[in-house]
């Protein structure tokens, strides 16, 4: 096994633990396991391994969602909630786009959104608005 393979294995193990918030944290973990590497080298290794900071924590990311629809599932919770499921790290920008497009639109029925990492809670005025928005989101985003 090459030196890079060993470092990559240690990086993946650390990232999968969910405890890496900063590259300096990862450097310290690598140093403790006998791998001292400069920050620039670490950044290149993270890029090669498709690891990025998502929601304040380093994670392995799948670049495939960049080419797929932003919403892959919508759940309706009557009378006035929609739960939008998206890919990790996409919820915040999706919620912002929905807020911009629908919240200010007179009569849209959208009261607001709350975003997590991969889920958006969409709050609407009533059951009628729920059906209208559900259909609109399916057409526009799926």
Phi, psi of 79 (to 5 degrees): -95, -15
* Reported pTM: 0.52
Mean pLDDT of the 98-105 span: 72
How confident is the model over 110-136, as pLDDT tens digits? 888 999 989 999 999 988 888 888 887
- Structural domains of the chain sorted by starting position, each given as residue range(s) with its CATH number in brackets: 3-61 (1.10.10.10), 67-141 (3.30.1360.40)
- Strands 110-115 vs 81-86: parallel, antiparallel or unpaired: unpaired
Residue-level pLDDT at 142:
66
């Amino acid at each position: 096994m090459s030196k890079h393979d060993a470092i990559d294995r240690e990086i993946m193990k650390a990232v999968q633990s969910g405890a890496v918030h900063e590259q300096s944290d990862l450097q310290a973990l690598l140093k403790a396991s006998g791998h001292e590497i400069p920050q620039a080298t670490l950044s290149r290794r993270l890029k090669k391994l498709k690891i990025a900071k998502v929601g304040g924590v380093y994670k392995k990311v799948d670049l495939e969602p960049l080419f797929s629809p932003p919403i892959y599932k919508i759940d309706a919770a009557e009378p006035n909630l929609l739960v939008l499921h998206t890919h990790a790290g996409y919820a915040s920008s999706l919620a912002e786009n929905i807020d911009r497009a629908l919240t200010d639109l007179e009569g849209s029925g959208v009261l607001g959104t709350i975003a997590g990492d991969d889920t958006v809670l969409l709050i609407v005025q009533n059951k009628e608005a729920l059906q209208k928005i559900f259909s609109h989101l399916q057409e526009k985003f799926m």
